Structure 1
C-alpha cells in the first residue's frame, strides 16, 4: 500500500469518493439537502498549504482518502490555538478491513505533528458505529456529543 499526497489528477476518483461519503452519511442525517450536494472544495484543499489530502493506492488503484486541515481554535480556554481537523475519510468497499483508514490516519497524524499541532479532531455521526470503532482503533476518544433539535 502506498500513501501519497493527492494531486489534481486524482480529482475524478476523489469526487466519486465524496459522493460515497454523502451516500453513507445520508441515512444518519435527514437535514442533508437532496442530491446533488458537495461537502468539500477538493481542488482548493489539494492546493492549500493548510490542508494535507492523502490517498492510499493498492495495486495502482486509489483505495482510500482522507485529509487533515489546520483550524483555529475559537475557544480561548483550551491550551492550544490551532488543531488539525480530520475529514474526507473514505475507503472503497473492496478494501475495507485491510488497514487503509489506519495507514492514512497515521500519515495525517505525522503531518499534523510536523505542523506543530498537538491535537486532531473529527466529527462522526453517533449511529455510525463502524466509523466510530475505526476511529477508536487508532486512538480517538469521544469527548463531546453534539445534540440537535429540528424546529
Structure 2
C-alpha cells in the first residue's frame, strides 16, 4: 500500500469527519460515552470550523490518501516561537499499523523544522492506548499527566514532547 500525504483542501472536510468519527469510536469508545463522542465530533469537526482550519495560513493541515481514499489526517500549529503543537493525528482504524500515521507525522515534522522550532508537543488521553503507543513508538517523550476536556467532561491525559 502506498500512502500519499498532501495539503488538505476544503473539499476534504466530509472525509475528515468520517475518519474522525471512526477513529474516535475505535480509540475512545472504551472510556467516553457515545453521547460525549457525538457532542465532541459536532463541536470539533463542524464543517465551517474545518474549512477555516484548512484555509488558515498558520495551521498545517494534511491528508493521507491510500488506494484513492482518504485514510487519515493531521493538523499542527506553531503556538510558541520554539514549539509546534500537534492538534490532530487520526488514521482510520482499518488502516492502523500500515504506516499512515508515520507518514502524516513525517510531514508534520518536516513542516515544524521549516518553522525553526525545537519541539513538537501534543497530548493523549491516558486511556487511549493506541495513541500513546503511537507517540511513544514515534519517539515522543511522555511528560506530565494533566486533565483534558472533551464535551464538558475532564479525563486524565498525558502530555508528550518530541525534540527536533
TM-score over 0.5 for the pair:
yes
Q: How large is the Cα RMSD of the aligned pairs?
A: 2.3
> Does the residue aligned with 1:17 lie in a helix, a strand or coil?
helix
Aligned residues: 141
2:36 & 2:93 partners in 1: Cα distance?
25
TM-score of the aligned structures, taking structure 2 as reference length: 0.75
Q: Deviations over 1:50-102 (max 9, x none)?
A: 11111111111111111111213xxxxxxxx3421113211112211111001
Contact 2:7 2:61 in 1 (8 A): yes
Give 3-state SS (helix, strand or coil) of 1:137's partner.
helix
Q: Which has the higher strand share?
A: 2
TM-score normalised by L of structure 1: 0.81
Alignment match of 2:61 (pick from 36, 50, 53): 53
Q: Secondary structure at the match of 1:127?
A: coil
3-state SS, counterpart of residue 143 of structure 1: strand
Deviating above 6 A after TM superposition, structure 1's stretches of 4 or more consecutive aligned residues are none
- Name 2:131's counterpart in structure 1: 131
Partner of 2:15: 13
C-alpha displacement at 1:26, in angstroms?
A: 5.1
Match of residue 78 from structure 1: none
